[in-house]
């Protein structure tokens, strides 16, 4: 009986302390929230860091944003949606530690496979990334092959351009509205 009273008293004290802790000032709560958010984001995925570090290419002399914008002009993507860290990891099957930085968009329209993706690979990972993108390409060809109405998208994916060098890997799939020669556009953008 005495032990039960002690345990109940301790629980009451803990609840009171928790209530008082909840009454802290807004700035303390905000800094606590920011600290916990930072801690959780560090453990969540390295690929998120890659998305934030898109400017890392500028430090190495490679203009990731410039190449991306040039390529996007040559291949206008209908209803574009930005490729996120989650897409890099789960759609393209790229290991987060293999990608130093990236920038990309793809079409969000059914039947349009349009894509512009520029990746700055981690050191020595360009070939690995090219292989993963080739696998993605084959998967997309198979997907669009299931739908007769998406024949144009399937043809566009079959003709995708994947180019890799030590400092950059590019994948482009023509949108249904594209008129430019994507191979030439990639070569021009990369100075090949």
The rounded distance, in Å, linking the Cα atoms of 92 and 94 is 6
Identify the band that residue 5 occupies on the pLDDT scale cut at 50, 70 and 90. low
Identify the band that residue 179 occupies on the pLDDT scale cut at 50, 70 and 90. confident
Q: Is there a contact between 94 and 117 (Cβ–Cβ < 8 Å)?
A: no
pLDDT tens figures, 53-71:
444 444 456 789 999 999 9
Has residue 176 got a pLDDT over 60? yes
Identify the band that residue 49 occupies on the pLDDT scale cut at 50, 70 and 90. very low
Residues 6+ apart with CB under 8 A from 126: 164, 165, 166, 167, 168, 169
Identify the band that residue 34 occupies on the pLDDT scale cut at 50, 70 and 90. very low
> The pTM is what?
0.68
Between 67 and 10, where is the model more confident?
67
Lowest-pLDDT choice from 38-47, 135-144, 165-174: 38-47
pLDDT tens figures, 100-128:
999 999 999 988 999 999 999 999 999 99
Q: Is there a contact between 182 and 192 (Cβ–Cβ < 8 Å)?
A: no
Identify the band that residue 24 occupies on the pLDDT scale cut at 50, 70 and 90. very low
What pLDDT, on the 0 to 100 scale, is given for residue 189?
A: 87
What pLDDT, on the 0 to 100 scale, is given for residue 36?
A: 39
């Amino acid at each position: 009986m005495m032990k039960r009273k002690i345990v109940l008293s301790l629980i009451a004290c803990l609840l009171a302390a928790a209530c008082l802790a909840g009454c802290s000032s807004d700035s303390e709560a905000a800094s606590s929230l920011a600290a916990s958010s930072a801690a959780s984001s560090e453990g969540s995925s390295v690929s998120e860091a890659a998305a934030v570090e898109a400017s890392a290419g500028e430090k190495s002399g490679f203009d990731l944003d410039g190449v991306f914008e040039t390529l996007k002009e040559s291949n206008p993507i209908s209803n574009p949606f930005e490729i996120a860290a989650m897409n890099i990891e789960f759609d393209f099957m790229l290991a987060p530690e293999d990608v130093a930085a990236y920038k990309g968009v793809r079409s969000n329209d059914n039947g349009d496979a349009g894509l512009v993706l520029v990746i700055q690979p981690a050191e020595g990972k360009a070939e690995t990334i090219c292989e993963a993108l080739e696998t993605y390409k084959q998967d997309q060809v198979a997907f669009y092959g299931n739908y007769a109405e998406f024949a144009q998208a399937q043809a566009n994916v079959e003709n995708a351009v994947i180019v890799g060098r030590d400092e950059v890997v590019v994948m482009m799939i023509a949108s249904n509205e594209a008129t430019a020669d994507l191979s030439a556009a990639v070569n021009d953008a990369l100075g090949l």
